[in-house]
Amino acid sequence: MFLCRKRAELMESIRTYKPTVSSVPQARVLLIGQVGAGKSSFFNAINSVFRGHVTSQAIAGSSSTSLTTQFRTYSVKAGREGKPLPIILCDTMGLEDSKGAGLDVEDISSILKGHMPNCYQFNPAAPLHAETHGYQKSPAVKDKIHCVAYVIDASKVSIMPPKLEEKMEVIRIPQLVLLTKVDEACPLVKDDLRNIYKSGYIKDLMQEVSVRLGVPLSCVVPVKNYSGELELDLNADILLLSAVIQMLRFVDNYFDDLSDRLSSVECKD
């Protein structure tokens, strides 16, 4: 009963969220990470929670090359006929270690600044440029990215390549880390998802990610996406919804920083 109430409260908090900047109807969160880390699966999982059953709108899988080849913006609806939630999840091509493969650093910059159109076809050999069809020359605040979520496979933290970390260094806006596949990384968690914060192994992984990516430990959020399941799980839902709440808090940080910078400019004038 408590878990059902907790899930309902988290869902309601997300449904009723309003960005603090009136010109922004929906917060935009960029999902970024290695091939197969679970970016598309995270959107599918959130969509599943609000639909009330497991769905797979975004293409997801375990291929060695990125199944996502376009920049996609996904709106989650509260039920089949419900209103879109006040958050848009932006899905990208997977990051790869080698140069000229996977998501390009220049493309990351274009996405953050709001220049990249929805359904843009990625080309690792030739990043987006101003003459590309659909390029947004003068993006508004509502078109930009307000929070970045690094999606990292918990079972592959130790083999995360250094060049990947270099690609991540271009990002200078509020960011958090989604640590996915925690059940595959730890038998204790696989047995019971409620052991997630009791697992010393998961705590160590969170600490390692925090150090390697230079983010506070509180910014590393463990989640379990839906993959082979046919039914929703309350404990998984609460982890997923808590991650979205954390994203929205980071979005608020972005808007607070924007407001501070605008106030500073006005003071100088």
- 103 burial class (0-12, 13-18, 19+ CB within 10 angstroms)? buried
- Whether residue 260 is contained in a domain is answered as no
Q: 162 or 187, which is more confident?
A: 187
Structure tokens at 94: 């997977």
Estimate to the nearest angstrom the gap between the alpha carbon of 1 and the chain centroid: 29
Query: Is residue 23 predicted with pLDDT exceeding 90?
Result: yes
Stated pTM of the model: 0.89
Domain tally, the chain: 1
Indicate if the pLDDT at residue 183 is higher than 90: yes
User: To 10 degrees, what angle do helices 234-268 and 2-15 make?
Assistant: 30
110 versus 125: which is more confidently predicted? Answer: 110
| Domain presence at residue 262 | no
- How much is the average pLDDT of 25-41? 90
Average model confidence (pLDDT) for the chain? 86
In a domain, residue 38? The reply is yes
Give the range of the structural domain holding residue 91, as residue numbers without chain letter: 1-250
Q: 83-87, 128-132, 202-206, 241-245: which range is least confident on average?
A: 128-132
Domain-embedded: residue 200 = yes
Question: Which residues have a Cβ under 8 Å from the Cβ of 166 and sit 6 or more positions away?
Answer: none
DSSP E strands, the chain: 27-33, 70-77, 84-91, 120-121, 147-153, 175-180, 220-222
Residues 248 and 14: beta-carbon distance below 8 Å: yes
**pLDDT exceeds 70 at position 60:** no
Residue 158: predicted pLDDT: 79
CATH number at residue 225: 3.40.50.300
| pLDDT tier at 63, thresholds 50, 70, 90 | very low
Residue 58 domain-assigned (yes or no): yes
Closest listed residue to residue 48, CA positions, set 246, 247, 225, 260: 225
Indicate whether 59 belongs to any domain: yes
With 0-12 / 13-18 / 19 or more C-beta atoms within 10 angstroms meaning exposed / middle / buried, residue 130 is exposed
User: Does some domain include residue 39?
Assistant: yes
Mean pLDDT, residues 19-39: 91
Q: Is residue 76 in a domain?
A: yes
The residue ranking higher by pLDDT, 179 or 169, is 179
